[in-house]
Structure 1
Amino acid sequence: MVVGGGVVGAACAYYLAKAGRTVTVLDRAGFGAGCSHANCGYVCPSHVLPLAGPGAIWSTLKTMFSRNSPLKVRLGVVLRNPGWFLGFARRCTDRRMMSAGGAIHGLLTSSRRLYDDLIRGEQVECEWETKGLLFVYRSQQAMDHYAATDRLLRERFDTPARRLDGDSLTALEPSLKPGLAGGWLYEGDAHLRPDRLMGEFRRVLTGLGVEIREHSPVAGFLYSGGRAAGVRTATGDVPADDVVVATGAWTPKFARELGCRIPIQPGKGYSVTFPRSTTGPAYPMIFEEDRVAVTPFRSGFRIGSTMEFAGYDERLNRGRLALLTAAAGEYLRDPAFGPATDEWWGWRPMTPDGVPVIGPSPALPNVWLAAGHNMLGLSMAPATGKLVAEMITGSRPHLDPSPYAATRF
């Protein structure tokens, strides 16, 4: 059984079903309706470094006093959850950043290869494109400063970028305004449309015999002989031999059942989607100085990102949406986006070290965690699903699972 019908839960169900297991997926809302619905769709080995790193503490503190910061931390959230933020602060060193980067790198590079296999092997139609991801800079200072990060990614993680200065950038991407300092193109990255991927996952999983139960929130576990025997839902008990908890930002709600502390904070992200424009960009891009991302799909155009630590706040903050479109307008020649087709927010499951929690629960040997993927759930989903299936079936893991263990907290 898989609890959670997002992209990580779907990937776990897929690899378990391919391994011959009978699988049921339970979701508290609709399959693929959470953070898997309208994120920016990046499959990005370039995103190997965690949010916690040298200088991150000062940057985070400044957001508390800046109204329009792309990263916003509410003081009340810090006061209610001091342990998470202290844990984040302790990890803002070069050594710990590189250690987390190694764990993140394994999942990202494995998932990038597995997406190729999945899309080809299952004939998945999700607007998959492999042209790369472009990091764009307005100022020369920021452009040159990023050279050190590019060198680190190149030398330590074998993830190089192609540098594009000035006119070379607009020659590659004519939708950008002239006069920008330049950009860095990570040609190994890819992108897809997340809602189309989840629709295809539903088709593939159903074809493999997976049962998907929507609007089935899990109220707790069933127990027998020191193991989980299934879960309790509002519509009745559901038995299971193994339970995979892939519930994203909701995972801490199961801390008592899991028998361990799950330090996940919901980091609220936003996106707004428009019809595809003939003058829009051809490449997916991140405007790094403003932390805003743009993704051109064949069927639309999405602007997303920002991060708001505001607890489990379910309101759509239109001010955050306005920040997205205003920032994109500073870079794009044609900022007239037209009427939006979708306005969205979702909770990213943020861990203090930027590394997901994957592996067995310390208290229940047949309960498995697959949560805390921060901003990279879609990018890490296939490798996570494959690793979970390998551990459950007793196969040799294709990645060392130890960096992702829940016991590290």
Structure 2
Amino acid sequence: MNTPQSAIVVGAGIVGLSTAWHLQQRGLSVTVVDKVGPAAGASWGNAGWVTPGLVMPLAEPGAWKHALQSLTDPDAPLHVPLRFDPQLWKFLLRFAANMNARTWRQTMSALQPITTAVDESFAELKAHGIASPVIAAPYVAGFSSARAAAAFRTELEHLHAMGQSIGVSTLADGNRPAVFSDAVAHGLEISGQSYLDPGDFVWDVARAFKACGGQIMDGANVCSVDAGPSSASVTSDDGNRLTADVVVLATGALLPRLATRWGLRIGVQAGRGYSFTVDGDCLPAGPLYFPEQRVVCTPYQGALRIAGTMEFLDPDEPLNSARLESVARAVRPLLRGIDWPSRRDEWVGSRPITPDGLPVVGRLASDRIYAAGGHGMWGMVLGPATGKLLAEHIVTGAVPHQLAAFNPLRR
């Protein structure tokens, strides 16, 4: 195929818009198509963590204990519905098979190259006018026991030994966030990371893309993708058809609906996360993490965004208020000065999880159709780097070494 001159990107989240922007920078005419619009899915309600040093596989050794807990504890951080769903249980069996140290190390080695490209990818967007700030700040992890703090520190030191850019130190008493309650007895400070307002950042990328002539078509639900010898096309459920040289599918947890026909065989499952916003008297200077409860908190628009849980349900199912309450119950004893009745922006979003913990980024069974997804909880941090590397792949035909392990055609 000759160098493409035009592209359609399906999906207006951080991955899709980053890919569209980089394709545009390489001279392509690009149209983004989305059912709702920019930052309407997981790119809006997430915690906004830009943490290349913390990127790791979800299927970590010993994670099976959380799965067993989910079967008996309705407030467990992981929720797996007890229902007849062969596709989900097949996925979970494959996921469980990767919960071992050898596979974890292999997956970390495959992820590490793209994590080193994260800071540069955000800096490039900033240099080209993306004004929404990426704020450098130490992360503070809080624990109720010294044993839990020591175990988490060992995990962080292991990440550092694997090549991740991360620093960890015991939290000094003078640096203890005032929002911590007395139930938080121990703390660790994690350096070298940043955070952002995810919705604002993605909208800023969309504005920059449109300012350079890009087109965003919202309200268009793409129901089919086709490719021929000279072009590719997408058709929405209202019958509208768009044609370009290449199509990129960046639809998050919905990726299999369009990509399975084009060779996607590895399962992509919706791992739904929940968040809400509350006001407080003494908000922290940076993000907080409670590993024992699997809950995160991020400064957000003068308030605090609280997020957590992993729920394996279909992306189209409505918000489960019981899961939202479980996040609130888990974190309430750990924080002081929070105005809990101010809770708002209650949200659920679907993160695209793969059983082997690796994204799916690259060409599908047609040289005119590409996939970009499967980042799990790391879509925000890896999205700009993914977009840059995939644009390079599409334009040059060569696979960047950072994407070598992310082949969408793998099984």
Give the shorter-chain TM-score range. over 0.9
Summarize deviations over 1:221-245 as a string: whole Å, max 9, x none. Answer: 23323x7521112241100101101
The residue that corresponds to 2:98 in the other structure is: 91
Aligned to 1:202, the other structure's residue is in SS state helix
Question: 2:259–2:371: 8 Å Cα contact kept in structure 1?
Answer: no
Structure 2 gap segments, 5+ residues each: 1-7
Q: How does 1:295-306 map to 2 (within 5 A)?
A: 295-306=298-309
The residue that corresponds to 1:203 in the other structure is: 207
In the comparison of the two structures, how many residue pairs are matched? 403
The residue that corresponds to 1:162 in the other structure is: 168
For residues 400 and 256 of structure 1, the distance between their equivalents in structure 2, rounded to whole angstroms, comes to 24
Question: 2:34–2:220: 8 Å Cα contact kept in structure 1?
Answer: yes
Displacement after TM superposition at 1:181 (Å)? 3.3
Is the alpha carbon distance of 1:345 and 1:90 closer, same or farther for their aligned partners in structure 2, counting shifts above 3 Å? same
Question: 1:26–1:214: 8 Å Cα contact kept in structure 2?
Answer: yes
Question: 2:54–2:166: 8 Å Cα contact kept in structure 1?
Answer: no
The residue that corresponds to 1:263 in the other structure is: 267
The residue that corresponds to 1:324 in the other structure is: 327
Is the alpha carbon distance of 1:108 and 1:337 closer, same or farther for their aligned partners in structure 2, counting shifts above 3 Å? farther
Aligned to 1:378, the other structure's residue is in SS state helix
The residue that corresponds to 2:121 in the other structure is: 114
Percent pairwise identity: 31
For residues 134 and 408 of structure 1, the distance between their equivalents in structure 2, rounded to whole angstroms, comes to 37
The residue that corresponds to 1:372 in the other structure is: 374
Summarize deviations over 1:300-325 as a string: whole Å, max 9, x none. Answer: 32001211112335211222222222
Displacement after TM superposition at 1:169 (Å)? 5.0
Aligned to 2:184, the other structure's residue is in SS state coil
From 312, 317, 333, give the equivalent of 1:314: 317
Which amino acid counterpart does residue 31 of structure 1 have in structure 2? Answer: P
The answer as to 2:363 corresponding to 1:357 is no
For residues 69 and 304 of structure 1, the distance between their equivalents in structure 2, rounded to whole angstroms, comes to 14
Is the alpha carbon distance of 1:327 and 1:366 closer, same or farther for their aligned partners in structure 2, counting shifts above 3 Å? same
Q: How does 1:72-151 map to 2 (within 5 A)?
A: 72-76=79-83, 79-119=86-126, 121-151=127-157
Q: How does 1:281-296 map to 2 (within 5 A)?
A: 281-296=284-299
Is the alpha carbon distance of 1:13 and 1:370 closer, same or farther for their aligned partners in structure 2, counting shifts above 3 Å? same
The answer as to 2:351 corresponding to 1:348 is yes
Structure 1 gap segments, 5+ residues each: none
Displacement after TM superposition at 1:400 (Å)? 3.1
From 19, 27, 30, give the equivalent of 1:23: 30
Displacement after TM superposition at 1:28 (Å)? 1.6
> What value does the CA root-mean-square deviation take over the aligned residues?
2.0
The answer as to 2:61 corresponding to 1:54 is yes
Is the alpha carbon distance of 1:313 and 1:77 closer, same or farther for their aligned partners in structure 2, counting shifts above 3 Å? farther
For residues 371 and 77 of structure 1, the distance between their equivalents in structure 2, rounded to whole angstroms, comes to 26
Displacement after TM superposition at 1:397 (Å)? 5.5
